Amino acid sequence: MSWYRNTVWFVKGLREYTRGGYESASKRFNPADVEVDVAGRSFLVTGANSGIGKATAKEIARRGGTVHLVCRNKERAEVAKEEIVTETGNQNIFLHIVDISNPKEIWKFAEKFQNEHKLNVLINNAGCMVNNREVTEDGLEKNFATNTLGTYIMTTALVPLLEKAADARVITVSSGGMLVQKLNVSDLQSESGHFDGTMVYAQNKRQQVVLTEQWAKAHRNIHFSVMHPGWADTPAVRSSMPDFYERMKNSLRTEAQGADTVLWLAVSAEATKLPSGLFFQDRQPVPTHLPLAYTHSPPEDEEKLMEVLEEFSQKFKSASPG
């Protein structure tokens, strides 16, 4: 049924995920939802030096929030920080250099961050789509290490800090590509069969949806959400999906349009009136499965995912310096 899922997803995408889909959906948006002052609130955005992460960080900064940019590349991150400060006039922009594919680095960062800062909102935006199988220095497949394990460790490591905050939120940037994948806990690191980077990425994004649903059940004082930004014109799309980009470039959303729902979930009062754990697109909850796609997974598989990630997490926590 994979051909069916892929076809339905692509046709749905042509209709909803493009710039035209955003322009149509935005007619029902209430601008007042995001016209808010968030001075005094602290936001952490991973992958914040470009694309949707930078667009989100910039809009939060415009609204007075304290923004922590978590980036891998120091040079590009410093340029992004300077741009955000210059354009918004907000001086409360802080930079942290962390490789989200390196679990020991995440633990080291999170433990230091908890001792020095407060946090109201975590935005898990960092991600990658590596099209050929690569293994990190820790022996982890690169997409899994970044998109799934990195997101898991960053979130669980900062949950104790978030639980101390008022109106705490966690937003994870996923993808509509997850609709073509059923959770597969038997091969989390894509070791068997043909390696297809696009499908591995989609599987990671399905895993992020499951993580969000599980976290929402476990941590009632934090509002969790996961979202699809639509198909946006970002550096990541250009580099990871060049054929897709060439075919769709005239229809792609802007970075700001892709970031709109992230911003709405991060700052609006309306977002937290909805239940925790939902999947959003264009400021509204949407189903996490296509009709007849057979992508539902049994509860034991979802529990197994959480168990395996916790095992990895604790292993790297004990190995992290400091």
Nearest CA among 257, 203, 286 for reference residue 59:
257
- Find the range with the poorest average confidence among 200-214, 238-252, 266-280, 289-303: 238-252
Calculate the alpha carbon distances from 145 to 68, 137, 151, 173 in Å.
22, 11, 9, 16
In a domain, 305, yes or no: yes
Average of per-residue pLDDT across 56-67: 98
Average of per-residue pLDDT across 255-284: 97
pLDDT over 90, % of the chain: 84
**How many domains does the chain contain in total?**
1
Per-residue pLDDT at 322: 62
Read off the pLDDT band of 4 (50, 70, 90). low
Average of per-residue pLDDT across 51-74: 97
In a domain, 39, yes or no: yes
Per-residue pLDDT at 8: 59
Per-residue pLDDT at 153: 98
Read off the pLDDT band of 233 (50, 70, 90). confident
Per-residue pLDDT tens over the stretch 11-39: 665 689 999 999 999 999 999 999 999 99
Average of per-residue pLDDT across 34-62: 97
Can you tell me the distance from the alpha carbon of 13 to that of 202, in angstroms, rounded to the nearest whole number? Answer: 14
Per-residue pLDDT at 111: 96
- Find the range with the poorest average confidence among 139-143, 162-166, 229-233, 309-313: 229-233
Calculate the alpha carbon distances from 226 to 14, 118, 174, 229 in Å.
21, 22, 6, 10
Per-residue pLDDT at 48: 97
Residue 2 is given by DSSP the state H
Read off the pLDDT band of 133 (50, 70, 90). very high
The residue type at 283: R
Read off the pLDDT band of 194 (50, 70, 90). very high
Nearest CA among 125, 129, 143 for reference residue 244:
129
Question: Who's near 280: CB < 8 A, 6+ residues apart?
Answer: 225, 226, 227, 228, 261, 265, 286
In a domain, 204, yes or no: yes
Kind and range of the H or E run holding 226: strand 222-228
Residue 148 is given by DSSP the state I
Can you give the pTM of this predicted structure? 0.95
In a domain, 321, yes or no: no
Per-residue pLDDT at 9: 56
Which residues are tagged catalytic?
Answer: 201
- pLDDT above 70 for 319: yes
Per-residue pLDDT at 3: 62
Kind and range of the H or E run holding 261: helix 255-267
The CATH code of the domain that includes 15 is 3.40.50.720
Its domain, for residue 176, covers 3-315
- pLDDT above 60 for 1: no
Show the tokens assigned to 40.
């005094």
In a domain, 263, yes or no: yes
Per-residue pLDDT at 33: 98
Calculate the alpha carbon distances from 22 to 14, 136, 174, 185 in Å.
11, 37, 17, 34
In a domain, 274, yes or no: yes
Can you tell me the distance from the alpha carbon of 157 to that of 153, in angstroms, rounded to the nearest whole number? Answer: 6
Q: What is the mean pLDDT of the chain?
A: 94
- Burial degree of 108 (CB within 10 A; 0-12, 13-18, 19+): middle
Q: What are phi and psi of 227, to 5 degrees?
A: -145, 160
Are 7 and 292 in contact by the 8 Å Cβ rule? The answer is no
In a domain, 304, yes or no: yes
In a domain, 58, yes or no: yes
- Pairing, β 278-281 against β 284-285: antiparallel
